[in-house]
Amino acid sequence: MQNCKTKIMGVLNANEDSFFKNSRFDNSQASFLIEKMIEDGANIIDIGAVSSKPGSIAVDENIELSRIKDIVDTIYQNKYYEKVDFSIDSYTPKVLDYVLNKGFKIVNDITGLQNDEVCKIAASYDAKVVIMHMQNNPKNMQNNPSYTNVIFEINDYFSKQIEKAKSFGIHDIVLDVGIGFGKNLEHNLTLIKKLNYFSLFGYELLIGASRKSMINMIVPSVVEDRLPGTIAIHLESIRNGASIIRCHDVKEHFQAIKVFEAINNIN
């Protein structure tokens, strides 16, 4: 088991098309939901304004910023960033520059630092960066994804993107294998079971499988009924080296992780 303290990254979506409707919110609810997440045990709150579910299409960065601006201002005015770390689920320079100037500390980039401008902005704010692996893009990533060896190919990708990050002066790095992003069920299960392989890089590993369709492929279930499967995946991921768990259900994960840790701390 890894030595990093497990952190819970709660998910809030400032867009109307996120796949789990209970994670959607607007500025009128922002304070209540953020305070509840902090109370429930979140260490990080990840806020996004663009859906990355399979088949989704990117939006203009001005639209993305307009969706998130008031919420970010609320976070800054209330100094919530002093209570919990805020992460931005985005890869658009304009949005990143705005939020990193308003107390956000983490860039959660599903494109894994493809854009040099993102690298420059993250480095200029000394932000922590989550490098995620995705095959293709959200619009087509689930069109028969294939790998010769999913572990080796993602390993090579991480090696390359870590070097790129360092070349821009980014050193605070988290790795995310990207469950469900250009992977079929077997790929996802393999990555969870062999996650510890990626600990060799020496960076924290993030897993986000919250309510994803892989659970439905194992036990047919609608999004609202996938919390048990989510917790099973996330606890196994912690066993295999993950130390940041990205989830919609903070309170339930807090309890599950505390019980899991209590069992594993017994000699």
Structure tokens at 58: 């990117």
Amino acid type, 86: F
- Strand partners of residue 87: 46, 106
Name the catalytic one among 105, 128, 183, 246: 246
Closest to 106 in 3D by CA, of 83, 78, 81, 71: 81
Distance CA 31, CA 10 (A): 14
* Local structure of 219: helix, strand or coil: coil
Residue position matching structure tokens 């098309």: 17
Measured CA to CA in angstroms, residue 194 lies from 101, 138, 188, 221, 239 at distances of: 37, 24, 10, 26, 10
Active-site annotation holder among 212, 226, 239, 258: 212
Short-list 28, 3, 37, CA closest to 12:
37
Question: Can you tell me the distance from the alpha carbon of 30 to that of 28, in angstroms, rounded to the nearest whole number?
Answer: 6
CA distance 106 to 112: 13
Indicate if 246 belongs to the active site.
yes
Residues marked active site are found at 212, 246
